[in-house]
Amino acid sequence: DSASSADLSDHLKKLFSEEQLYRIDHYLGKEMVQNLISLRFGNMIFGPTWNRDSIASVTITFKEPFGTQGRGGYFDEFGIIRDVMQNHLLQILCLAAMEKPVTTSPDDIRNEKVKVLKAIPSLSLSSCVLGQYCGDPDSDHPDARLGYLEDPTVPEGSSCPTFAAAVLKINNERWDGVPFILKCGKAL
């Protein structure tokens, strides 16, 4: 949460300068995500083909095979968009779509990511699909039989999405016309 994050940052400031800290989204610590920059920019074959002329669309998917498992009260405060899409999936989109940074320093990588984000127009509702998972009464797993609203920790009548899909466009020369499809959900 924001308060504990601020407390942690204040504590770290007493011990280290900002230049000595490396902040990373925990999802970006996954090995495949870490290898994306090396894969893209370390292989000459991708240079001439990593663009709108060779790629029809890009789909980035995060799916969990389980629901909230009794943590629905926490999840309901944030939902799948804030919990997964706006940070984890957008970070991966930036890594996939950015231009080669001048160096691999965090500042140069960040600058290229920011260029991608600035080239994405605001989403319209017609470019999004939201949903909530329901239970599977025939499942062998007791948790899978419960839908999101049947989790006792979820507020009654919640409209919090547990699934989201969005089609983003990047208005730049490399990606003009290529849809970037972000999908994420629980209990899939």
Residues with a known catalytic role: 88
Q: SS3 of 51, please?
A: coil
CA separation for the pair 146, 67 (Å, rounded): 8
CA separation for the pair 139, 145 (Å, rounded): 6
Beta strands in 34-131 (DSSP E): 58-63, 128-131
Ramachandran angles phi, psi of 57, nearest 5°: -165, 160
Under 8 Å between Cβ of 139 and 108: no
Under 8 Å between Cβ of 154 and 132: no
Neighbouring residues of 105: CB distance < 8 A, sequence distance ≥ 6: none
